[in-house]
Structure formats: structure tokens, C-alpha cells
Structure 1
């Protein structure tokens, strides 16, 4: 059976969606492929996200080849996860979609950033479990 392809979408594809892509690759690669993209991308991944992901998980998002991408850079996906940006994402064909409703930690303290990162980790693990139980 082929793995599901999941797209994590956020406005700038610089923080929450990049974190979700990285954690998806680390924690759920045996169940689904992780991608991220944005609707109005920035020119780099959020430096605090890069620093904290390296510190907490040993993941170097930049060295692993992650970069800011627009929706047209995505392959065909099975599921779409929006981060809670309040953005009306352009239509992206998928079998299902969900919004995680996460606050953007950009410009916040490390503690706030870590709360969001840990919530993304929980959500990734829950999604992994859900897809293992009943592949969509």
C-alpha cells in the first residue's frame, strides 16, 4: 500500500507548516509523506523555528532541504492540514482536509514557540494513529 501524502498549509510557509513537515518526516514517515506550502511565502524558514527544532529534536530543517514553497510546488496530495491562519486557501484537490487552529508563535517567547511545537507533535502523532487505523 502506498503512503498517504499530506500537505501542511500556512500563509507564509515559514513556521507552523514547516515544523509540521519536519515532525511528520521524523515521527510518521512510515505512515505518510509530509509536505508543506504557503499562499504568500516568505524568503526563509523562521529562524526561531529552525533553532528550536534543532535544539528539541535534532532536526536541521535547512540542512535537510526544507524550503519555503507555494502550493503549485506540491505533488497531488491525499490530505490537507491548515494551521489556523484564517486564510482561505486556494482550492487544493484532496480526499480530506482539516484545520488545526494553531496560533502563530512568530515574534513570541521561546516558551510560546515550544507550546506550538509540542501541539504540532501531538497532532502529528494523532494523525499518524488515525491513518494507521483507517487509511483514508
Structure 2
């Protein structure tokens, strides 16, 4: 059976969507393929996201090749998960579209950042269970 393709989308593709891609690959890679992208890209993946994901999950997002990407870099996907960027979220065709409504932790302290990361982890695991 072919695994579902899931795209995590946010405007800048530098923080929440990158975290979701990394956690999706690690925690649910046996069930679905994870991608991320955006439309108004930042120059790099958020350094706090890179640091905290490496410290807490052992995932080196940069060594794994994660970088800000545009929608044209994505394959055809089955699911689009937007991070909560409201009307600025880009559109991408898919069988199902869901908005996770996450706060952007950029510029916040580590505790706030980790709350958002844990929320993403919970949602990735729930999606894994739903798609299993």
C-alpha cells in the first residue's frame, strides 16, 4: 500500500511547518510521508526550532536537508495541513485540508516554543493513528 503524502504548509516555511515535517518523518514515517513548504520564505529554518528539535528529539533538521521550500518543490499530496497562518496561508490542492491553528513561537522563550512543539507532536501522532 502506498503511504499518504502530507504537506505541512505555512507562509514562511521556517518554523511550525518545518517542525511538523521533522516530527512527521520521525514519529509517523511508517504511515505517511511528510513534506513542508510556504510562499514567502525566510532565509533559513528557525534556529530555535533547529536547536530544540535536536535537543528534545535527536533530529538534526539541517543535516537531514530541511530548508525553506516553495509549493512547487512539493509532489502531489493527499493531505494539506496548514499551521494557523489564517488568510495568508497558501492554497495547495489535496484530498483533505485541515488547519491546526497553531501559534507561531518565533521569538518566544523555550518554554513557549516547547508547548507549540508538543502540540505539533500530539497532532502528528493523532494523524498517524487516523491514517493507520
TM-score by length of 2: 0.98
TM-score by length of 1: 0.95
Structure 1 unaligned regions, length at least 5: none
Residues 1:117 and 2:125 aligned together: no
Residues 1:45 and 2:32 aligned together: no
Residues 1:82 and 2:82 aligned together: yes
Deviation string 1:51-91 (CA, Å, 9 cap, x unpaired) is 00000001000001111001111000000000001134443
Structure 2 unaligned regions, length at least 5: none
**How far does residue 93 in structure 1 lie from its aligned partner after superposition?**
1.4
For 1:112 and 1:87, the matched residues in 2 are separated by 24
Partner of 1:72: 72
Deviation string 1:3-56 (CA, Å, 9 cap, x unpaired) is 000000011000000000000000000000000001101010000000000000
For 2:105 and 2:86, the matched residues in 1 are separated by 15
Tell me the secondary structure at the aligned position of residue 63 of structure 2: coil
Summarize the alignment of residues 1-136 of structure 1 with structure 2, pairs less than 5 Å apart.
Answer: 1-132=1-132
RMSD of aligned C-alpha atoms?
A: 0.8
The worse-fitting range, judged by mean Cα deviation, of 107-116 and 86-95 is: 86-95
CA contact (8 A) 1:7 1:80 kept: yes
**How far does residue 92 in structure 1 lie from its aligned partner after superposition?**
1.3
